[in-house]
Amino acid sequence: MHSLASRLSAFSSREEVPRSIGLLLVLVYVVALAALGLVSDNQIRAVVWEQQVAGKTGSIVLLANMLDPGTETEEPARQATLRRYMKSEGCAEVRVYDRNLQIVASPASSEVGRKVGVRPPGSQVTPAEPAAELLSNPQNARRHLLLRAPVPGSGKPPNLFVEAVFDLEPPRTLISGARARMLAIALVSTGALLWVYHMLRRHFRSFAKIANNLAVHRGRVEQQLDELRVQDGNDALTSSWNRLIDEVAALEEEVARSTAANELLSALSKTKAGELAEAMISVPLGVLLLAEDCTILYANRVAGRLVGCPEGSDSGAVLGGESATRRSDQTVEVIRACVLETSAFRPFDKQIDAGDGNYYHARIIPVRTQQQSRRFVALIADVSQQVRADTAREEFVSQVTHELRTPLTNIRAYAETLSSGMFDDPQVITECYNVITKETRRLSRLIEDILSISQLEVGSMQLIFDDVDLRSLLTDAVRDVRGIAESKNIDLQIVLPPKLEPIRADRDKLAVVINNLLGNALKYTHSGGQVVLSCRRTENNLIVSIRDSGIGIDPKDHERIFEKFQRSSDPEVLEETGTGIGLTTAREIVRHHGGEISLMSKKGEGSTFTVTIPVDQRAPTPAVART
């Protein structure tokens, strides 16, 4: 069923048109050939018959002449002539009659004087001219040729005539030789026609497919160029057609690109003065459009400041040209080198150290214009903060490692000293125990700080509120660092009011705050200096101050030193070891208590850190309670 349907479909398709036309032509040719053969057969048969009749007629006229009474009057002579005639012409009967249809002469002498013979009704009795007739024999349904000719010299009208009957009738079929020739001609010509048809069909097959494809996709050839391609042909026409399709497709693509580019340019030109241009100008990312020779075709505000050129387009400035206002020569040089030296068409990235503490990331994207020249889009991002944070993090890990190893070194070394049994001096043994204890506490505090900063990182710090005896907490804190103060010859004082009521707070976390602030004060105060811890309570707040006479802090670093992993840029500070997390941890803990840390300091004039914590912690804000 499917096969039939497909055949019908194929038959109805335009692809079959040449085949049907060819078959029709062959059919017409064969019919015409058959008709021509038939007509020719009849004509030939007629001609053959006429020739036969004419020949017999001539022979009987000749016989009549031989029977002329003037020349042949004797009966035996006539009889002999008739017999020769019968024999030579092969006739069935021959006789000579007179006007009364009485046999005058016959091959059989017994018939002379009798009235016998074949007579068609109404026929002329004594023909003046030789005549031929076809007579049907009712006995055997055969037909016979009857010829009569007057005997010359027998009077006018003639008294005698010769009559001969031939067992002869017109040929019903052509003679076999002619038929064979005609058949051969028909077969050869039909074969030739079929061959010509085959060749033509083969030649025009590609035309048929192309025509078919065009007909099927009529009206949407632009969208379906691929469908017009002839798939299963390998002749020159198919190849040419497919090449033509390819070229048209390429042209269409080019036109589409050109159109899109024109539309984009048109849109951009329309938006230059519009919102897009405004937005581009204001984005915090540097955007540069450069020609191959580094002419600046467009620069937004950030890029303009960075490379020292006017913002906007068509300023005519050249990247790296004279400018007194650029922020980063190094950035200009890197981008310029990339543009001038690259031949690739893929985007590439450059990390740029501006050399002034700032870092930039430039992504440079080559683009091709309609005129086949190259342009470069440079996107420049200021990644200084990210680079500094990464550097600080690496330094933090390095610093923490160092800080952890330092107390561990003492704990291990002094423990080995004790366990070696080599030292029995009680003073040395006591000293070993003290160092181990002290370094263990130092290690504990360090781990606490690292944990705190980790909790701050993920926002999981939890405070455990309790009544905290401030006098005890502050006194313990001072006692823990008194050894350091003494080793550095620093006057460490604690000033507390006579009466100091407990407050609700997380004691351990608050101890971390005081320890960190005291530790910093001692670390950055020179020998002979002074550190004073004082505490007072107002109606609503507890205020703890740690004042030192140390190196002081430049006001530009006041905020920075509270940031994670950040330390003052003061070389005197950097000489001391530190992780950069102590103040961050302290401030976050205080903030989780609802308070704040403030700083008063000037370079070279000492520092005062003041911790202010609300006394009433019974109803802390949710954000600073148990988070």
Q: Which residues bind another protein (CB under 8 A)?
A: 397-398, 401-402, 405-406, 408-414, 416-417, 420, 422-423, 428, 431, 435, 439, 487, 575-577
Taking the complex as a whole, the smallest distance from the CB of residue 412 to another protein amounts, in Å, to 4
Distances in whole angstroms, Cα of residue 342 to Cα of each of 239, 335, 413, 471: 40, 10, 59, 71
Q: Which residues pair with 349 in a beta bridge?
A: 363
Taking the complex as a whole, the smallest distance from the CB of residue 538 to another protein amounts, in Å, to 41
> 7 or 402, CB closer to another protein?
402
Taking the complex as a whole, the smallest distance from the CB of residue 418 to another protein amounts, in Å, to 11
Taking the complex as a whole, the smallest distance from the CB of residue 516 to another protein amounts, in Å, to 20
Burial of 219: CB neighbours in 10 Å, binned 0-12, 13-18, 19+: exposed
Chain mean position to CA 328: 42
> 492 or 503, CB closer to another protein?
492
Taking the complex as a whole, the smallest distance from the CB of residue 367 to another protein amounts, in Å, to 43
> 397 or 464, CB closer to another protein?
397
> 370 or 437, CB closer to another protein?
437
> 269 or 409, CB closer to another protein?
409
Q: What does the alpha-carbon distance between residue 175 and residue 171 come to, in Å, rounded to a whole number?
A: 9
DSSP 235-249: SHHHHHHHHHHHHHH
DSSP 308-320: T--SEE----BTT
> 305 or 438, CB closer to another protein?
438
Tell me how crowded residue 299 is: count the other CB atoms within 10 A of its CB: 27
> 98 or 439, CB closer to another protein?
439
Distances in whole angstroms, Cα of residue 163 to Cα of each of 97, 128, 139: 7, 13, 21
Taking the complex as a whole, the smallest distance from the CB of residue 457 to another protein amounts, in Å, to 21
Taking the complex as a whole, the smallest distance from the CB of residue 448 to another protein amounts, in Å, to 20
* Nearest CA among 411, 361, 392 for reference residue 567: 392
Long-range contacts of residues 16-24, Cβ cutoff 8 Å, at least 24 apart: 17/208, 18/200, 18/201, 18/204, 18/205, 18/208, 19/201, 22/197, 22/200, 22/201
Q: What does the alpha-carbon distance between residue 442 and residue 454 come to, in Å, rounded to a whole number?
A: 18
> 550 or 594, CB closer to another protein?
550
Burial of 42: CB neighbours in 10 Å, binned 0-12, 13-18, 19+: exposed
* Nearest CA among 171, 154, 167, 153 for reference residue 49: 171
Phi-psi region of 308 (alpha: psi -120 to 50; beta: other; left: phi over 0): left
Q: What does the alpha-carbon distance between residue 239 and residue 30 come to, in Å, rounded to a whole number?
A: 37
Q: Which residues pair with 350 in a beta bridge?
A: 362
* Nearest CA among 623, 593, 516 for reference residue 562: 516
Taking the complex as a whole, the smallest distance from the CB of residue 403 to another protein amounts, in Å, to 8
Q: What's the half-sphere exposure (Cβ side, CA atoms, 13 Å) at 291?
A: 12
Taking the complex as a whole, the smallest distance from the CB of residue 524 to another protein amounts, in Å, to 12
Taking the complex as a whole, the smallest distance from the CB of residue 402 to another protein amounts, in Å, to 5
> 442 or 591, CB closer to another protein?
442
> 431 or 448, CB closer to another protein?
431
> 358 or 520, CB closer to another protein?
520
Tell me how crowded residue 590 is: count the other CB atoms within 10 A of its CB: 21
Where do we find the tokens 């190094």? 330
Angle formed at CA 541 by CA 535 and CA 547, multiple of 5 degrees: 30
Angle formed at CA 12 by CA 6 and CA 15, multiple of 5 degrees: 90
Taking the complex as a whole, the smallest distance from the CB of residue 568 to another protein amounts, in Å, to 15
> 344 or 422, CB closer to another protein?
422
Q: What's the half-sphere exposure (Cβ side, CA atoms, 13 Å) at 284?
A: 2
* Nearest CA among 63, 128, 74, 125 for reference residue 97: 125
Taking the complex as a whole, the smallest distance from the CB of residue 490 to another protein amounts, in Å, to 15
Taking the complex as a whole, the smallest distance from the CB of residue 548 to another protein amounts, in Å, to 18
Taking the complex as a whole, the smallest distance from the CB of residue 426 to another protein amounts, in Å, to 13
> 281 or 392, CB closer to another protein?
392
Q: Give the type of residue at 452.
A: S
Distances in whole angstroms, Cα of residue 625 to Cα of each of 122, 311, 451, 464, 510: 152, 50, 19, 9, 14
Distances in whole angstroms, Cα of residue 219 to Cα of each of 214, 224, 378: 9, 10, 45
DSSP state for residue 295 in the 8-state scheme: B
Radius of gyration of the chain (CA): 67
Taking the complex as a whole, the smallest distance from the CB of residue 439 to another protein amounts, in Å, to 7
Distances in whole angstroms, Cα of residue 394 to Cα of each of 66, 351, 454, 569: 151, 18, 15, 17
Q: What does the alpha-carbon distance between residue 313 and residue 291 come to, in Å, rounded to a whole number?
A: 12
Taking the complex as a whole, the smallest distance from the CB of residue 577 to another protein amounts, in Å, to 7
> 102 or 417, CB closer to another protein?
417
